[in-house]
Amino acid sequence: MSDKYDANRDRVLRVAAELFAKSGYHGTGIADLGTAVGLGRGALYHYIGSKEAILYEISCRRLTQLNSIADESALTEADPEIRLRGLARALMRDIAGHRAEWTVFFREHHALTGERRDRVIAERERFESHWRHALEQGVRDGRFRALPRLMAKGLLGMFNYSYVWMNPGDRETPDEIADAFLDTVITGMRSGEHA
């Protein structure tokens, strides 16, 4: 595809994310999106295919990006604490830079059906598994005390919810927020010999 096609498609997805975040997936019609991007229904479908395809693309893009970062970190960083910090910073930066997309994902991904829903859930679980593996390695290495089975979900929940309250004008940067959250949690997770 051409650069112009990609740029137009990206614009459609960005505007759709903003509309879905504001009015909800079900509360936003294709006509609303067409008006917002200045395209007729035929041109709009050329770029996105269907409304569900838009929701899928919005949801999947962010997870795919984070999984790419997490995959690289798993291959290059042996220290589980440093890996967790990298995952946390990457997530907070991405939420800060793509707040509308994350709002749509967290509020609306359940509206996906079939293979699209399965793929988004698999990508979400893959990202969570990177966190879980780093935590488990920290326990195996004796750095963290034994942790509750659902620790990764709880930790991610703390970060994920930031889409509700994080704003571009906040005093703290996404990295500072990620570090503060992790510092607090890691202090509580440390084993006696590493406290």
> Are 121 and 137 within one domain?
yes
Range(s) of the domain holding residue 146: 51-194
Which CATH number goes with the domain that contains 38? 1.10.10.60
Is the pLDDT score of 64 beyond 60? yes
Lowest mean pLDDT across 40-54, 132-146, 176-190: 40-54
> Are 127 and 39 within one domain?
no
> Are 70 and 45 within one domain?
no
Q: What is the DSSP string of 26-75?
A: TT--HHHHHHHHT--HHHHHHHHSSHHHHHHHHHHHHHHHHHHHHHHHHH
> Are 45 and 94 within one domain?
no
Which CATH number goes with the domain that contains 166? 1.10.357.10
> Are 140 and 57 within one domain?
yes
> Are 67 and 140 within one domain?
yes
Q: pTM of the prediction?
A: 0.89
Of 24, 49, 74, which marks where a domain is finished?
49
> Are 5 and 72 within one domain?
no
Q: What pLDDT score does 36 carry?
A: 92
State how many domains the chain has: 2
pLDDT interval class at 193 (50, 70, 90) = low
**Token pair for residue 33?**
């999106």
Phi, psi of 73 (to 5 degrees): -65, -40
Is the pLDDT score of 3 beyond 70? yes
> Are 2 and 95 within one domain?
no
Long-range contacts of 130-133 (CB under 8 A, 24+ apart): 130/67, 130/70, 130/71, 130/73, 130/74, 130/83, 130/87, 131/84, 131/87, 131/155, 131/156, 133/74
> Are 117 and 180 within one domain?
yes
Q: Provide the percentage of residues in the chain whose pLDDT is more than 90.
A: 71
Model confidence over 95-119: pLDDT tens digits?
999 999 999 999 999 999 999 999 9
